[in-house]
Amino acid sequence: MLGQGIETWVFYALAFTALIMAIFVVTARSAVHSALFLISTLVTVSGLFLLLGAEFVMGAQILVYVGGVMVLFLFVIMLVNVKEEEKESTRIFTRQYIPAVVLVFLLGGAFLFSMSRLRNEHDFLNEAESKMAQAPAPAGSPAVDAGKNSKNTQTLGEALYNQAALPFEVASVLLLVAIVGSVLLARGRKQEKIFD
């Protein structure tokens, strides 16, 4: 089947794009550039979701993050004056290099430790890999039923309303609280006076 090779290359292309864009998010001087780089990171990560067979999550990611949250970020950058930061003479980093480096190395050590544990019982992965190779789906990335309609959204919706019905309702309450809270936080002096 056409699948495996091409999907591997697509994975690596998306992964490197996501990483490079993420580096630019952290290092870009202008907040607007940062937001645009973050948008491209989110889009490439949603491509990875698609590669992993999670179509609904990919759509939700595009709609909620790129269409909603990032537009909100751009609006706030527009409202807030960031001209000061864009001058070359202004520092864009804090002086917290040492805690940052220490924490990053600690996290890296924890990661390497856990990955080495994973490799010690490597049959865990290798068996899975060989099982994947026997299954109609090739290893790691591709869609299970290539050519057929994916049932991802249907099964996900059923699971969401059966297994996770209570968290679903709690999430709706959380969103309501977030709406009311952001309106309260963002009101101006004049509005505060009218209400208080």
Partner 1 sequence: MHSLLTTLLFQIGNAAGQTVAAPSPWAPKLSTFITLSFLLFILGVAGVLTRRNIIIIFMSIELILNAVNLNMIAFSRYWQLTGGGNANTGQIFTIFIIVVAAAEAAIGLGIVIAMYRNRETVSIDEIDLLKW
Among the listed residues 13, 155, 169, 191, the single contact to partner 1 using CB under 8 A: 155
> Rounded CA gap, 138 and 133, in Å?
5
Minimum distance from residue 140 beta carbon to partner 1 (Å): 4
Q: What is the dihedral of CA 144, 147, 152, 158, to 10 degrees?
A: -110
Q: For residue 55, what are the CA distances in angstroms to 48, 127, 151, 153?
A: 10, 26, 9, 7
Q: Which of residues 101-120 bind partner 1 (CB under 8 A)?
A: 103-104, 107-108, 111, 115, 118-119
| Site residues (CB under 8 A) for partner 1, limited to 15-44 | 15, 18-19, 22-23, 25-26, 31, 34-35, 38, 41-42
Figure out which of the listed residues 13, 145, 169, 174 binds partner 1, where binding follows CB under 8 A.
174
Q: Which is nearer to partner 1, 3 or 146 (CB)?
A: 3
Q: Cβ contacts of residue 137 below 8 Å, gap of 6+?
A: 143, 144
Is the distance from CB of 25 to CB of 41 less than 8 angstroms?
Answer: yes
User: Which amino acid would we find at residue 70?
Assistant: M
Distance (Å) of CA 26 to CA 37, 149, 188: 9, 39, 31
Among 188, 193, 195, 196, binds partner 1 (CB under 8 A): 188
> Phi and psi dihedrals of 79, rounded to 5?
-75, -30
Q: Could you give the CA distance from residue 148 to residue 151 in angstroms, rounded to a whole number? A: 9
What's the token pair of residue 176? 């309501």
Write out the binding residues for partner 1, residues 65-104 only, by CB under 8 A: 65, 68-69, 72-73, 76-77, 79-82, 85, 91-94, 96-97, 99-100, 103-104
**How many positions of this chain bind partner 1 (CB under 8 A)?**
98
Candidate list 17, 40, 48, 150; residue touching partner 1; CB under 8 A: 48
Nearest approach, Cβ of 193 to partner 1 (angstroms)? 14
Closest separation between CB of residue 148 and partner 1, Å? 15
Residues 127-146 that bind partner 1 (CB under 8 A): 128-133, 135, 137-141, 144
